A = this chain, B = another copy of it.
Amino acid sequence: MTTPIAVGLSAVIVAADGNGPYALETRHGNATGLPHGQFDPERHRTFELGLRDWVRAQTGFEPGYVEQLYTFGDRGRELPQANLGDAARDARLISVGYLGLTPVRTDISAFDAVWRDWYRHFPWEDHRKGRPDIIDEAIGPALATWADLGGKNAADRLSRAQLAFGLDGRPWIEERTLERYELLYEAGLAPEAPRDRGKDKRGVSLPPATMGEPMISDHRRILATAIGRLRGKIKYRPVVFELMPERFTLLDLQKVVEALLGLSLHKQNFRRSLDRSGLVEGLGAFNQASGGRPAELFRFRREALREGHVLGVQTPRG
List the interface of chain A (C-beta within 8 A of B): 2-7, 39-42, 45-47, 68, 70-71, 73-76, 87, 91-92, 94, 96, 159, 163, 166, 170-171, 173, 306, 308
Contacts and interface: CB of A to CB of B under 8 A. Distances in A.
B40 A87 contact: no
A208 to B, nearest CB: 27
Contacts of A40: 2
A96 to B, nearest CB: 6
Nearest to A91: B41
Interface of A is mostly: loop
A171 B87 contact: no
B306 A92 contact: no
A185 to B, nearest CB: 15
Given A6-B5, A41-B5, A306-B159, A70 B73 contact: no
A6 to B, nearest CB: 7
A308 B173 CA distance: 9
Contacts of A6: 5
Contacts of A87: 2
A47 to B, nearest CB: 4
A6 B4 CA distance: 9
B73 A39 contact: yes
A5 B96 CA distance: 14
19 contacts: A2-B87, A3-B41, A4-B4, A4-B5, A7-B73, A39-B73, A41-B92, A45-B74, A45-B75, A45-B76, A46-B74, A46-B75, A47-B73, A71-B71, A73-B96, A163-B308, A166-B308, A170-B308, A173-B308
Contacts of A46: 73-75
Contacts of A92: 41
Nearest to A42: B3
Nearest to A3: B41
Nearest to A310: B163
A70 B71 CA distance: 8
Contacts of A71: 47, 68, 71, 96
A306 B306 CA distance: 40
A5 B306 CA distance: 39
B41 A2 contact: yes
Nearest to A75: B45
A237 to B, nearest CB: 11
